[in-house]
Structure 1
Amino acid sequence: MPLPEQLNPAEINVGVVGLGLMGSSIAVALLIAGHPVKAIAPLPEELAEAPTRILEQLLHCEKAGLLKNPLGYYLDQLTVSADYNNLENCILVLECVTEQAEIKKEVYTKIAAAVADDTIIASNTSAIPISILQNFVPHPQRFLGIHWAEPAFMTRFLEITCGEQTDINFANRAFDLAHYWGKEPTLLKKDIRGFVTNRLMYAVYREGLNLADQGIATIEDMDKAFRYDAGSWMTLMGIFRRLDYLGLEDMETLLQNILPQLNNTDSVPKTMQKMIDLKAKGTQNSHGFYNYKDDEAKEWEAAFAEFNKDIDRLAALYPSQNNTHKNS
């Protein structure tokens, strides 16, 4: 079923299955985009906690000026339950459960039993290939990945990924719909592990951890380098437009000199292995690359929320010139 040219999100039901932090955040993003949201909590604790979490996130959106209607309007558009039959009239259902294939398979069976054969079923996964997951779904051509960033309601990132069996028409529908969510989506037509964003970031992590292992640079200095160099231009122009801006005439020499020096190990770097052995969880247990006092984790959470509000407003002043491009 193609989307109408003049789309009214209020007439399009969407579903979210899995209401942890990410699932709740996605539900809020869809609510403020104008959709009626059918939210399914597979776990009893999610069913108990999700309404309060979603309300808190909506209040944050209200404070940030993201709500076009009174708060009560969005609450009226939300249904939270454990009953998969509530997904019946959804044109798209997003799965956000734990990254275990067998659990996802069980969830997909319940989703598919409740929705039409042409309903898009999508996963927020960044860990399991879409080509594997779509084998768990009847009519796998309508299955794809829709990978969000946290917080979903205040970030412009969205990565849409096709599996081997995905019909591109379904992916294009999701791509078109994403613009109504305030996103600047990318469309990846070939399923590769890690998708685009994670592959780029893990290449950075590998190189940075290698520099730390060799004692060449500290974690603190590498964070500073990214904050005050890449952080000063990345939201405006990305990485390849940055190369255009700088000029490309010296790139052959630079790449020939630098690429052979970059790390290409396929083992876990020593610095990261130390964190794993210490069972470090960063701000979650106050131990990581940095140590945190009792209240610092909450301070970082609050600071990140404010930063996302500021960066979203800044990005809106300089929108991408290619935000309707569908990548090949």
Structure 2
Amino acid sequence: MPTELERVGVVGAGHMGLGIATALALGGVTATATDTAPEVLASVPIRLGANLERAVRSGVWGERAAAAARDRVVMCRTLEEAVAGAGLVLESIPEDLPAKQVLFARLEGLCPRATILATNTSSLTLVGVGARMARRERLIGCHFLNPADAMPLVEVVQGPETDPEIVDAVMDLWRQVGKVPIRVRFDQPGFVANRLIQALTREAIALVESGVASVEDVDIVAQVALGPRLAATGILLQQDLGSLDLLLTVAAALYPHLQNGAEPLPLLRELVERREVGLQAGRGFYDWAGRDPATVREELAARLLNVLRGLGGRARPGPYAARDLASGREER
């Protein structure tokens, strides 16, 4: 790993930011993290400990590796302290465009010209985030899925002015800490993962809204049919395993009947209007009454780690299976 990327500043130590810091630390990188909320900073030791204990319980990491990782997460009270000496500074603050613009303008002034500046935005464009920067060639996107310490994927997003050598260096960093980076070749809303997730979610909501299937049954299909098959082959390789002429026939017959509206579906709007917005509110598509949100999220993260371990663990994550199958190489 290049020496200059052995220290990464993480701005924002909430659920996502701390997950990113945990992943970096487990991969051997020092993560200097900060947050504007004192209570968030104060809670870091407990939350970091929970992340690491979960990783050990799942068998993905050993106790020695977890103990070393704990020492690599350094909490900083100021932004200046967090970015000092960092070869990469990664922002993980709320999705507020003006706030991100102000932050990156400030980071540009604080960091040496060689420091790479990255945003974890999931919905904003790099053009918008970097609008107040003078040197946008060092701005890149690094989008994680929650929980960031468990989920292997990192979408590395190249903006219109991003230096390609910076993209290569950041891709190498994430590989070396055990993540699976993909290169998003140009800046578009939703990148890759969220576009796929939203397309599937829109159809799932439409099936429930129209009465075709219950919430529970739609999720069962995703868990026991789509999930295992997609984990083994991906989307497009699966079509090659069948036949593209069959895909064309099915697509011509089915596409006209799929949900393709440009606006959120009425069922979703109704749930939000009733403030039934999910786990934190006690009700969403499911009834969460009486469940502690922190406990539920911890259970989900543990389940994800167990699934990922079954797919090959941190060293050989599931996506490699499709690549090896297509090339004739089998993992040993």
TM-score, normalisation: structure 1: 0.89
Is the contact between residue 84 and residue 110 of structure 1 (CA under 8 Å) also seen in structure 2?
no
Give the secondary structure class of the aligned counterpart of 1:260: helix
- What's the counterpart of residue 3 of structure 1? none
- Distance (whole Å) between structure 1 residues aligned to residue 126 and residue 245 of structure 2: 39
Instruction: State the number of aligned residues.
Output: 317
Residue by residue over 1:8-45, the C-alpha shift from the partner in whole angstroms, topping out at 9 and shown as x without a partner, is 77971111000011101111000000011111112222
Residue by residue over 1:296-316, the C-alpha shift from the partner in whole angstroms, topping out at 9 and shown as x without a partner, is 645532431221121221222
- What's the counterpart of residue 101 of structure 1? 97
Match of 1:43 among 34, 37, 45: 37
Distance 1:15 1:67, change over 3 A: farther
Residue 17 of structure 1 pairs with residue 11 of structure 2: yes
- Distance (whole Å) between structure 2 residues aligned to residue 51 and residue 138 of structure 1: 36
CA deviation after TM superposition for structure 1 residue 64, in Å? 3.0
- What's the counterpart of residue 4 of structure 1? none
**1:74 partner letter:** A
Gaps of 5+ in 2: 325-332
Residue 32 of structure 1 pairs with residue 26 of structure 2: yes
Residue 208 of structure 1 pairs with residue 242 of structure 2: no
Is the contact between residue 10 and residue 34 of structure 1 (CA under 8 Å) also seen in structure 2?
no
Is the contact between residue 88 and residue 116 of structure 1 (CA under 8 Å) also seen in structure 2?
no
CA deviation after TM superposition for structure 1 residue 217, in Å? 2.4
- What's the counterpart of residue 76 of structure 2? 81
**1:16 partner letter:** V
Is the contact between residue 159 and residue 188 of structure 1 (CA under 8 Å) also seen in structure 2?
yes
- What's the counterpart of residue 190 of structure 2? 194
Give the secondary structure class of the aligned counterpart of 2:256: helix
- What's the counterpart of residue 326 of structure 1? none
CA deviation after TM superposition for structure 1 residue 142, in Å? 0.8
CA deviation after TM superposition for structure 1 residue 88, in Å? 2.1
- Distance (whole Å) between structure 2 residues aligned to residue 181 and residue 236 of structure 1: 23
Match of 2:170 among 171, 174, 187: 174
Residue by residue over 1:178-200, the C-alpha shift from the partner in whole angstroms, topping out at 9 and shown as x without a partner, is 10121121101111111111111
Distance 1:9 1:58, change over 3 A: farther
Give the secondary structure class of the aligned counterpart of 2:137: helix
Distance 1:11 1:250, change over 3 A: closer
- What's the counterpart of residue 270 of structure 1? 266
Is the contact between residue 163 and residue 191 of structure 1 (CA under 8 Å) also seen in structure 2?
yes
Residue by residue over 1:278-325, the C-alpha shift from the partner in whole angstroms, topping out at 9 and shown as x without a partner, is 1112111211011123136455324312211212212226550649xx
CA deviation after TM superposition for structure 1 residue 78, in Å? 2.4
- Distance (whole Å) between structure 2 residues aligned to residue 100 and residue 251 of structure 1: 41
Which range moved further: 221-230 or 50-59? 50-59
- Distance (whole Å) between structure 2 residues aligned to residue 295 and residue 10 of structure 1: 44
Gaps of 5+ in 1: 1-6, 324-328
Counting only pairs closer than 5 Å after superposition, residues 279-294 of structure 1 correspond to structure 2 as 279-294=275-290
Distance 1:14 1:68, change over 3 A: farther
Distance 1:302 1:97, change over 3 A: closer
- What's the counterpart of residue 64 of structure 2? 69
Match of 1:122 among 118, 123, 130: 118
TM-score, normalisation: structure 2: 0.88
- Distance (whole Å) between structure 1 residues aligned to residue 44 and residue 8 of structure 2: 17
Is the contact between residue 283 and residue 289 of structure 2 (CA under 8 Å) also seen in structure 1?
no
Distance 1:68 1:163, change over 3 A: farther
Percent of paired sites with the same residue: 26
Give the secondary structure class of the aligned counterpart of 1:195: coil
Give the secondary structure class of the aligned counterpart of 1:89: coil
Match of 1:247 among 234, 243, 248: 243
Give the secondary structure class of the aligned counterpart of 1:152: coil
- What's the counterpart of residue 52 of structure 1? 46
Residue 138 of structure 1 pairs with residue 137 of structure 2: no
Is the contact between residue 231 and residue 319 of structure 2 (CA under 8 Å) also seen in structure 1?
no
- What's the counterpart of residue 225 of structure 1? 221
CA deviation after TM superposition for structure 1 residue 154, in Å? 1.6
